[in-house]
Structures are given as structure tokens and as C-alpha cells.
Structure 1
Amino acid sequence: MNASVPLDMTDRLRAEAAIGPDPVPTAASKQTQIIAIYGKGGIGKSFTLANLSYMMAQKGKRVLLIGCDPKSDTTSLLFGGRATPTIIETSAKKKLAGEEITVSDVCFKRDGVFAMELGGPEVGRGCGGRGIIHGFETLEKLGFHEWGFDYVLLDFLGDVVCGGFGLPIARDMCQKVIVVGSNDLQSLYVANNVCSAVEYFRKLGGNVGVAGMVINKDDGTGEAQGFASAAGIPVLASIPANEEIRRLSAAYQIVARPGTTWGPLFEQLAVNVAEAPPQRPKPLTQEALLGLFESDVVGRDVVLEPATQEDMCGGVVPLKPSLEVIYDDV
């Protein structure tokens, strides 16, 4: 199109509408990488992140770890079992006292890792997803977008589907997502749901991709590896089901120390997490997901037998008078 030729308003609008969206990035930004880690509750996200962030810091990276799980257990391993004041709880107390919350109130350090917990409401007293949204609003007021970290790692619960827990994906708050799973159906179901969420928002113009999967408590049966292959995402690390790892983690000890038995595994994980590009996943159907497991494991030989009203009433359906009004023929 010749730029020197004047266009009327209609032509200008048509030309603007013809411009396609920016291409989806195939590699993470060289600036701060914000990475959201999702997985089923109890699958080992916090264990993975505490050790990953520790190893990154030992390699000279500036790392901020943010727990976005209402259990507020992301940082407990990092701090040897110590609980940290959460942003939501601290913000509420400061507000009642008429004081402003500061970074020093909620962010703490250990061996180069900066860490904080968003927190959440007590059971029955509020929405966890809304708590996440409030927590990030507070982070923005504290200057989140001005902080100079190499990596920001977000620990998100994957088996809660309300909006707040999908915030990084829905609002392009992170460049990439990592899923943590194991060789069990429920954790892979959650991982598949996260991939589905990423794909959904990609279709709406989002840019977040899945960088890969961490297999935790890997017993070698291969279902998680099969899922990753089918979903088109790489396996970033396989952490074995090992008694020493379990024992050390239960005692709130970091296993990812340079020069130790498990150091090389987490060193490689740190490299893979940093370099893995965000990709567009291929979520599995329910049948395909079940197909990763043997039929005797997931009960696919069971036939669904429809129930009847007689079944529901114990064999006899009580007759109820009709409320229909019938008029005699005139």
C-alpha cells in the first residue's frame, strides 16, 4: 500500500482491521520470567518450587517465590517449617490499625531466595480465588512491576477452577506455565485441565504457553510421560519416588544443594525451566486421558446402568394427584 496516497476514514479503518495480531512468542523474554506452576493439591508443587528456587539462587539468579495457595505452605520448606505472615492477613491487620503495608511486612529471604505467601480466607469465610486477586492487587501497590528479579515463580493450586486461580493465564501475567504431576489419574486430570485453560485463552488472543511438566514421585510406570507426549509438552524433570527425598522433605530440609546427591537433578531442572519455550498444548479428551491407564485401574469395564424412578423410590412409585385442570367438553 502506498503510504503517500491519502485514505478516507473507511479505508483507514479497513487497513487497521486487516492488521493481524502480534505473533505468539516462541521464547521467554530475556527480562523477568514470570512462571506459574500448577498441579493437584499434595502432588509436590511446593517441594518442587522450594528446591528449584533455592538452586536458582545458588546459581546467582535473583528469584522471588510467591505462594498462591490458600494453605500457605509454599514457603514452609524453604524456611525450615516456619510459617510466614501472609499478605491477606497482614493487609487486613494493617488496615484495621490505620497503617500501610510494606514489603518488609510480607517478604522474607533465605540464601538469596525472596519469598512470600498471598494466603487465603479460613474455611467458609470467603472465596480463595478472590483472595488471590486481592493479593495481587496488593502486590501491585507494593511495586511488583518495578522489582528486578530474574525469575518470579508462582505456586498455584490446579484443582480449584474458580477465576482467581486462573489469573496468570487469563490476564497474561506470566509468560509460561509448568504443570507438576505424577503417575496417577487425578494429578494428570488436573494437568490436562490446566492445558485446556491455556488453550482456551490462547484462542481468545492470550500469549501464555505451557513450558513443560515435572513428574514428581515417579515410580517408573510411565503414565505421566505418556500424558506429556500426547499433550505435546516436554518433561522438564522426573523426580523419583525416593525414601531419602521423602524423609528430608518431611523434615523441612532442602535437597537441591550443589554438590549433593540430588543437586544435579535440580541443576538440570533449573536450566530446563529457564530455557523451555512456552508452547501451545494439545489437551486430551477424557477418553484419551483414561486410555493412559490400564482398564483394571480406571474401571472401564464397568457398564453404566441408568436408574429408574422405581429404583429411586425403593421399588414402588407413589401415585400423586395431578394438578392439571381438565375441563369437560361443552
Structure 2
Amino acid sequence: MSDDLRLTPRSAGTDYAEILRAEAASEPDPVSTGPVKKDTQIIAIYGKGGIGKSFTLANLSCMMAEQGKKVLLIGCDPKSDTTSLLFGGKACPTIIETSSKKKLAGEEVAIGDVCFKRYGVFAMELGGPEVGRGCGGRGIIHGFELLEKLGFHEWDFDYVLLDFLGDVVCGGFGLPIARDMCQKVIVVGSNDLQSLYVANNVCSAVEYFRKMGGNVGVAGMVINRDDGTGEAAAFANAVGIPVLATIPANDDIRRKSANYQIVGTGTSEWGPLFSELAANIHGSVPNRPNPLTSDGLLGLFSSKDTGGDIVLEPATVADMCGVAEAEKRTLEVVYEEI
């Protein structure tokens, strides 16, 4: 971003609204894809909104930290709720909002303004625009631009976990896949059609960018709220990715999550589950998935539940207008040969 758009301390006659509009209209700087200083696993986690990505990541990151790993958790969802479980429900100041305030005050953003620690986990939220006031995907791009200015590619972590909303298909949310910013993708899903539809879309995005020369692959799937019906496991098998963990639909987990309690620790009965997930992620490889067609996805479910046996009946002009279609004579002029 050009230096002439940077805000300076307030002075008489300065039109900050115009400066901010100009900055919003400018294209963001290209995202760096240079190597990090250590062998860091950067993993992007995708899934349908509300499927349990934040729950999974908060507990996973705590387990990894307990095992002696240095972990950075970054929320990349405009709802900014990835870290809420980690911080007991307390909202974490977002990078985008903090940056805007600092610019207006003529100050620089520091690490301590946006990155916070608990349970040995480092965590931050990118944030996003207010409702109706901007593009969430573009906010993600600007958020990573700010991270790079803070030295993202110089940081020393074993794992960087990125929490992305999977049911948004704009470019900003596909940034880690499109620009090889991560090595692996993990999808979180359940035994329902909508979450598997999102997981299949993510696999399609990975396959598309692999054909374009990308290197990101799918490490596997976490099945959350498993009720034993098996559709999610069948999906993973069909697209060619492993199941990294299966988290049951359990009232104890639901209650503790609702009360902002971490269950991914060695003292919890659920600790072994998240310990196994951490081990499976560490040893996972970036698989190239084989996304399903719409009919293939529907085929994982009983036709009585999805309408898979429905035959589409085309509409007619009479249906649309309420009257039979009148014959329309052509206005084409036909000349006889002389």
C-alpha cells in the first residue's frame, strides 16, 4: 500500500474520512509467500458456520501447548469468535479494528495490542468490517497484510492454526489455498448434508488450485457431533481423505463448551481424543482430494431425507403466464431466387 495513504497525527484541516476512503479503495499489497524461519506447520481449518471449528481448535491448541508445542491460533472469521472459548468468553481485540484506531491516533500497532496468551497458546483475531459496511474477504486480505507488517513470516512457532469460514466462497476466504500460505487444510463436518456440502466445496477449491500449480492439500477431516449415522465418514472415504478424529455428540462436551470450559487437557476425560487428534495432524500429509458431484454428495444420504429421487419437471410458458403460449409468426423476409 502506498505510503501517502498512511495517517499522521491529527492536524487542523485534515480530512480523515477522505483518507480512509482512499485507503479502502486501494488494492492491498501482494501477500508474501516466502518461507518461515523454522519448520512451522501452517494449517487452515475450514467448515460450515456453527459446525464447531472454534471448539475444535481451542481444545486442539491447548492440547498441543500442553505437549510442549508452541502454537499460534488466528481467527479469520468476521464474527471474531475463534478465541472466545480460549478466553472464557471474553472478546479479543481484533487486528483490523485495532489498526484503524491506531492509525487515527498516528500510532503503530504492536504485538501486545493484538496477540494474547492463555493456557500456553498465543491467539489473535483478524476481525472484519461491520455488517453492511464492507467485504469480509477483503478484510481477511488486509488482515494478513497487517500480520506481515508485524513480522508473521519471522515468527517462531511449531503450529499456526487458521480458523476460516468455509461456507463463503469469495477470494479472501480462500487466500491460504490460493496463495500457498498454508501446507495443509483440515475440514470440520458432521453427518448432515449442509456441512458436507461445505467440506466438498473446500475440497473442490484445493483441487482447482492444485491444477493451477498450487501445493496445498487436505490433511483430513474432523467429524464433530458424531451421531453414528456414518455419512461424514463415507464422505471422507469417497473424496480420499482420512478421518483425523471423531468427536461424539455428547451432552457433557456440549455443556462444557457452552460454559467456555476447555476439555482438551490431560486432566479431562476428553484429553485422549484431542491428544490423538494432535498426533494425527502432526503426521498427516497434504492429500489431493477427489471432490464429489452434487449427485454423488446426495448419494451419501437416504433419498427420503434429501429428495434424491425427485425428478425435475420443466416449467412452461403457460405455467408462468397463466395462458397457453400463442404461436408467434416469424418476421423473417424470405426472398425467392430469380
Is TM > 0.5 for Structure 1 vs Structure 2? yes
The amino acid that maps onto 1:64 is L
For residue 228 of structure 2, give the secondary structure of its aligned residue in structure 1. Answer: coil
The amino acid that maps onto 1:241 is A
Checking the alignment, whether the CA contact within 8 Å between 2:191 and 2:227 is kept in structure 1 is yes
For residue 185 of structure 2, give the secondary structure of its aligned residue in structure 1. Answer: strand
2:69 aligns with one of 44, 61, 68: 61
Where does structure 1 differ by over 2 angstroms across 4 or more consecutive aligned residues? Answer: 313-320
Alpha-carbon distance in structure 2 between the residues aligned to 1:60 and 1:66: 19
**1:173-212 pair list within 5 angstroms:** 173-212=181-220
Say whether 1:246 aligns with 2:246. Answer: no
What corresponds to 2:266 in structure 1? 258
Alpha-carbon distance in structure 2 between the residues aligned to 1:210 and 1:84: 29
Structure 2: 5+ residue stretches without partners: 1-36, 334-338
**1:84-123 pair list within 5 angstroms:** 84-123=92-131
What corresponds to 2:239 in structure 1? 231
Alpha-carbon distance in structure 2 between the residues aligned to 1:312 and 1:113: 59
Checking the alignment, whether the CA contact within 8 Å between 2:38 and 2:156 is kept in structure 1 is no
The amino acid that maps onto 2:69 is K
Checking the alignment, whether the CA contact within 8 Å between 2:299 and 2:308 is kept in structure 1 is no
The amino acid that maps onto 1:258 is G
Per the normalisation by structure 1, the TM-score is 0.87
What corresponds to 1:41 in structure 2? 49
What's the RMSD between the two structures over aligned residues? 2.1
Alpha-carbon distance in structure 1 between the residues aligned to 2:322 and 2:269: 62
**Deviation string, structure 1 residues 43-84 (Cα, Å, up to 9, x no partner):** 100000000001101111100000000111100001000001
Change (3 A) 1:310 1:269: same
The amino acid that maps onto 1:140 is E
Say whether 1:278 aligns with 2:286. Answer: yes
**Deviation string, structure 1 residues 13-70 (Cα, Å, up to 9, x no partner):** xxxxxxxxxxxxxxxx971100000001111000000000011011111000000001
The amino acid that maps onto 1:191 is A
Alpha-carbon distance in structure 2 between the residues aligned to 1:117 and 1:55: 20
Structure 1: 5+ residue stretches without partners: 1-28
For residue 312 of structure 1, give the secondary structure of its aligned residue in structure 2. Answer: helix
**Which deviates further from its counterpart, 270-279 or 149-158?**
270-279
The amino acid that maps onto 1:299 is G
Per the normalisation by structure 2, the TM-score is 0.85
Alpha-carbon distance in structure 1 between the residues aligned to 2:163 and 2:174: 12
Change (3 A) 1:304 1:114: same
The amino acid that maps onto 2:90 is R
Q: How many residues align?
A: 300
Give 1:253 deviation, angstroms.
0.8
**Deviation string, structure 1 residues 143-172 (Cα, Å, up to 9, x no partner):** 001110000000001110000000000100
Checking the alignment, whether the CA contact within 8 Å between 2:38 and 2:157 is kept in structure 1 is no
Alpha-carbon distance in structure 2 between the residues aligned to 1:270 and 1:30: 19
The amino acid that maps onto 1:287 is D
